[in-house]
Structure 1
Amino acid sequence: MHKRRKLATLLGAGLSPFLVLGLSVTPAGAHGWITDPASRQAQCATNVVQCGEIKWEPQSVEGPKGLKDCAGGNARFADLRDDNKGWKVANVGGSATFDWKLTARHRTTTWQYFIGNTKIAEFDDGGATPGEYVSHNVNFQSFSGRQKVLAVWNIADTANAFYACVDVNIG
């Protein structure tokens, strides 16, 4: 029994530096999402709609730049792609203000908003670091009725972006 404890202690002591180093280089997984009107991930986080893992990580919908995907290319957050999940729709007029909450702030190139493949707005931050809250007023142009708005936060110092989808009824 004494030999086993000694072996376990030696193994633990020998592995601990590797565990500490491995944990310290893990990238952060928390960044930002739209809180108002409530994005799909905000609805998951507040139990408005029942979802999987995104419930605990509404700020983590990150993926390569250029996607048109509510889940940011993440299979873990596939619930966000499901247009039939019962998302609550926000009634808006010809424009709406989208409020982001940022839990980790990154230098930013642009914020983009799409309906389908049509870019309806872009805000250029020119590499600036935003505050904890960011708001954009988006004009819906000639769109009306129920629409899914894809919002994209493009990061200046990585190849990634953050994604959020908001269901709106324009009219």
Structure 2
Amino acid sequence: MTANTELKLRPLAVGDLAAVTRLDATNGGESRAGFFERRLKAEKHGPDGYFSCVAEREGQVMGFLLGHFLDGEFGGQDRVAVLDAVGIDPAARRQGLARSMVADFDRVARGRGAGEMRTQAQWDRPGLVEFFSAAGFRLSPRIVLERPTEYVNF
């Protein structure tokens, strides 16, 4: 790569919200603009609990990764890094952008005392599941359970 096409990794900024929201909708099907706005605000108020990374090439946002840190959740005692959202411009897939962002998150997570990274993926998104597998994620021994909050037959 020449100097003007090199990948630059940096934290998410307010000016990135439109591009990140667009990329996320391209990958996930619907806009989560409110999620990204709240997430950026939370990161600004408590930066040690969050991680964000934007992959930029020639001034264009090509991808993003967001994560946060949990301490002692779900019966554990150790700090865990949680990968919340990742998205790559379809034209830039399979170029190592997501791999670079996960590696950056790994580096920061280790520096902040996390020894494990967790994430979730919908089973019907095989490309995402394939990426996570290639990135070293494996099925967890935990079972994720969910139900509506209005459940009353208890």
TM-score normalized with structure 2 length: 0.24
Structure with the larger RCO, 1 or 2 (CA within 8 Å, 6+ apart): 1
* Richer in strand (by share): 1
